[in-house]
């Protein structure tokens, strides 16, 4: 599933192509995505100009005077701006038509993505209102203090704690593994056992990993491609994720893997001992 850097990469690619464009209509070839495609896409939004392309966690937000569209890429979705007359392929489910003859096309082979209407106040939408803070919107001291306070009654493993979107958003499976490696923290360590200084250090590492991944264009593992159809390149820099049995880049100890919360977790038993 695309994580925060991949979604942010998509947002940055789409922003200059969408700002100021008016929505003229929609072509819905398959409304049966994770949730039905928002009917407001055809009933309320035609004629509205797109004034902002934002992101909250892994959701994209298209802002118009007639309300917000909330888009999620699911496990395999991608968004491209291309001429509306371009023949659709098998998994091209929705086109948002634009006034310059282009369209914003959602391609989603697994159909776990979504296009929803979030009204005038997207922060109050059911999918957004309980989300934790954005990790890149504050300094590491503030984020670390927040993580420390939120962890005090949590005996859950710190990796699962970081992946809880009600605690902090955007630290998905890949980047949780990478950040914990850089911080020298074993993924199974209880969140409540970490000190405040340890969380401040971890917060700084999380911010660095996410910023580097965004700068590199996101991480391509299987399905993701950005809005230009080009893959991200951060996968070349992964230290532990997907490297089971390979030598640690720091100490040459073989990287280990285990299942945590039904997700694969990777760590170095020496560097994260």
Angstrom distance (rounded) from CA 200 to CA 100? 47
Q: 């106040």: which residue's tokens?
A: 121
Angstrom distance (rounded) from CA 160 to CA 190? 10
Angstrom distance (rounded) from CA 142 to CA 149? 11
Angstrom distance (rounded) from CA 201 to CA 239? 18
How many residues are recorded in the chain? 273
Task: Reply yes or no on whether 2 is catalytic.
Answer: yes
Interhelix angle 173-183/196-215, nearest 10 degrees: 130
Annotated active-site residue in 3, 6, 8, 178: 3
Secondary structure class of 192 (helix, strand, coil): helix
Annotated active-site residue in 11, 58, 80, 243: 58
**CA 194 from centroid of its chain's CA atoms:** 26
110 is in an annotated binding site: yes
Tell me the CB-side half-sphere exposure of residue 151, using CA atoms within 13 A. 26
Task: Reply yes or no on whether 3 is catalytic.
Answer: yes
Residue ranges for the known binding site are: 91, 110, 154
Catalytic residue IDs: 2-3, 58, 263
List the binding residues for DNA: 91, 110, 154
């Amino acid at each position: 599933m695309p994580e925060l850097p991949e979604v942010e990469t998509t947002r940055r690619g789409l922003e200059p192509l969408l700002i100021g464009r008016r929505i003229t209509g929609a072509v819905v070839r398959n409304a049966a995505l994770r949730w039905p495609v928002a009917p407001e896409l055809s009933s309320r939004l035609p004629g509205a100009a797109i004034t902002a392309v934002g992101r909250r966690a892994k959701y994209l937000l298209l802002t118009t005077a007639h309300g917000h569209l909330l888009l999620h890429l699911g496990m395999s979705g991608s968004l491209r701006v291309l001429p509306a007359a371009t023949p659709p392929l098998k998994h091209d489910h929705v086109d948002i038509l634009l006034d310059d003859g282009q369209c914003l096309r959602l391609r989603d082979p697994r159909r776990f993505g979504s296009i929803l209407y979030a009204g005038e106040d997207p922060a109050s939408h059911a999918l957004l209102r309980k989300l934790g803070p954005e990790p890149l919107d504050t300094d590491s001291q503030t984020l670390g203090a927040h993580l420390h306070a939120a962890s005090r009654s949590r005996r859950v493993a710190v990796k699962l704690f970081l992946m809880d979107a009600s605690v902090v958003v955007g630290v998905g499976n890949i980047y949780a593994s990478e950040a914990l490696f850089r911080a020298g923290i074993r993924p199974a360590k209880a969140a409540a056992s970490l000190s405040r200084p340890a969380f401040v250090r971890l917060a700084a590492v999380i911010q660095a990993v996410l910023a580097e991944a965004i700068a590199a264009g996101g991480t391509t593992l299987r399905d993701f491609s950005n809005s230009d159809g080009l893959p991200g390149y951060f996968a070349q820099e992964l230290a532990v994720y997907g490297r089971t049995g390979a030598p640690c880049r720091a100490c040459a100890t073989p990287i280990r893997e285990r299942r945590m919360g039904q997700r694969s977790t990777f760590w170095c038993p020496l560097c994260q001992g």
